[in-house]
């Protein structure tokens, strides 16, 4: 991939109207540049260039929080205009392009999810630069008012710049240093249906850990939840539940000959899990609407990676 700093095109003169409510102390919107016409079926590169050199001022939302909201709103508009693009790699820059803030990846499905979660605000026209051509893009803003403001702050706290697969594992392992039990984790984040999954959050205690597994980076809402990986010293394998009389259970043999069990329980949706015991610790991997083969494969990848 060519460096985003080499994107072709001229900056637009002036600023677009803010994409968040004026009651939030909104700032002039960053300028938007695309490398050219997006290619169907790909992740496409874009730049969000803000003039501010400091993005931390602002109440109740910082300038940074407003920029991230603008990024999601523009992504939603781009995904409507180019529906066959998988998502957008945003090179976010402050100081007129001189201060790199990181690469943020937003799949089209994630942009749609955020609009549904926070509600739709105003419809606005945003000028963008596509190669050396200027275009107007219709966008729908996020409705960041009232109780949605602290909810959005939770999103931006977790919506971090992109790191590669190895970097994700390093980050989550740094968080897990506080636990005293062996950790079983795949060498790389898992994939489901060709889509990469993300380690986004972790709850850590000396005798247990629980890692959240999500479909989009930075999103911990229910719509983004895929499953979890956990370990608990002294934990027991689950037993049949009266709440799920139709659940299925099956003994399985995992990597290195470890015996385990597969359980699938269905309510509003189905949650499958594979669990096993190792040296007094119960390990469990859960996933929504997963099948036996897929979940056993994930568990085996964690076991084969070895205890950490």
Segment 209-235, tens digit of pLDDT: 999 888 776 667 676 788 999 999 999
CB 111 within 8 A of CB 46: no
Nearest to 284 by CA among 241, 254, 242: 254
More confident residue, 271 or 16: 271
Q: What is the DSSP string of 38-79?
A: PPTTSEEEEEEE-S-S--S--SSS-HHHHHHHHHHHHHHHHH
Q: What is the pLDDT of residues 196-209, one digit of tens each?
A: 678 877 899 999 99
User: Which pLDDT does position 257 carry in this prediction?
Assistant: 95
So what's the pLDDT on residue 24?
A: 35
When pLDDT is cut at 50, 70 and 90, the band that residue 181 belongs to is: very high
Q: What is the pLDDT of residues 75-109, one digit of tens each?
A: 999 999 998 888 899 999 999 999 999 889 898 98
Which distant-in-sequence residues (6+ apart) come within 8 Å of 272 by Cβ?
262, 263, 264, 265, 286, 287, 288, 289, 290, 291, 292, 295
Two tokens, residue 70: 């603008």
- Is the bond leading into 60 cis (omega within 30 degrees of zero)? yes
pLDDT at 29: 74
The pLDDT score that the predictor gives to residue 43 is 87
pLDDT of residue 237: 94
Work out the percent of the chain whose per-residue pLDDT is above 70.
86
Residue 64 has pLDDT above 80, yes or no: yes
Mean pLDDT over 62-68 rounds to 94
Residue that the structure tokens 């200027």 belong to: 134
**5 has pLDDT over 60:** no
| Per-residue pLDDT at 1 | 33
Q: Using a CB cutoff of 8 Å and minimum separation of 24, what contacts does 199-203 make?
A: 199/168, 199/169, 199/171, 199/172, 200/158, 201/158, 202/172, 202/175, 202/176
Evaluate if residue 22 carries a pLDDT over 70: no
| pLDDT 10s digits, 103-136 | 898 989 889 988 888 988 889 999 999 988 899 9
> Residue 186's pLDDT band (boundaries 50, 70, 90)?
confident
- Tell me the pLDDT of the chain averaged across its residues: 83
**294: pLDDT confidence band, cut at 50, 70 and 90?**
confident
């Amino acid at each position: 991939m060519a460096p985003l700093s080499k994107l072709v095109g001229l900056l637009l003169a002036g600023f677009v109207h803010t994409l968040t409510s004026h009651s939030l102390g909104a700032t002039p919107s960053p300028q938007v540049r695309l490398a050219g016409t997006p290619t169907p079926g790909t992740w496409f590169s874009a730049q969000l260039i803000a003039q501010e050199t400091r993005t931390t001022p602002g109440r109740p939302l910082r300038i940074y929080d407003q920029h991230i909201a603008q990024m999601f709103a523009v992504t939603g508009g781009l995904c409507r205009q180019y529906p066959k693009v998988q998502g957008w790699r945003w090179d976010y820059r402050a100081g007129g392009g001189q201060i790199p803030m990181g690469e943020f990846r937003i799949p089209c499905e994630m942009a749609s999810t955020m609009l549904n979660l926070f509600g739709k605000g105003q419809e606005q026209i945003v000028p963008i630069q596509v190669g050396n051509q200027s275009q107007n893009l219709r966008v729908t803003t996020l409705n960041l008012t009232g109780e949605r403001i602290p909810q959005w702050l939770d999103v931006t706290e977790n919506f971090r710049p992109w790191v590669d697969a190895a970097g994700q594992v390093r980050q989550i392992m740094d968080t897990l240093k506080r636990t005293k039990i062996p950790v079983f984790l795949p060498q790389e984040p898992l994939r489901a249906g060709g889509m990469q999954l993300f380690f986004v959050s972790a709850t850590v205690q000396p005798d247990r850990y629980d890692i959240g597994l999500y479909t989009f980076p930075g999103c911990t809402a229910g719509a983004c939840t895929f499953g979890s990986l956990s370990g608990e010293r002294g934990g027991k394998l689950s037993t049949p539940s009266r709440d799920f009389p139709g659940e299925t259970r099956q003994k399985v043999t995992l990597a290195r000959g470890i015996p385990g069990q597969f359980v699938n329980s269905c309510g509003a949706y189905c949650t499958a899990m594979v669990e096993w015991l190792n040296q007094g610790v119960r390990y469990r991997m859960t996933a929504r609407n997963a099948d036996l083969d897929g979940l056993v494969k994930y568990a085996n990848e964690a076991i084969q990676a070895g205890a950490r």
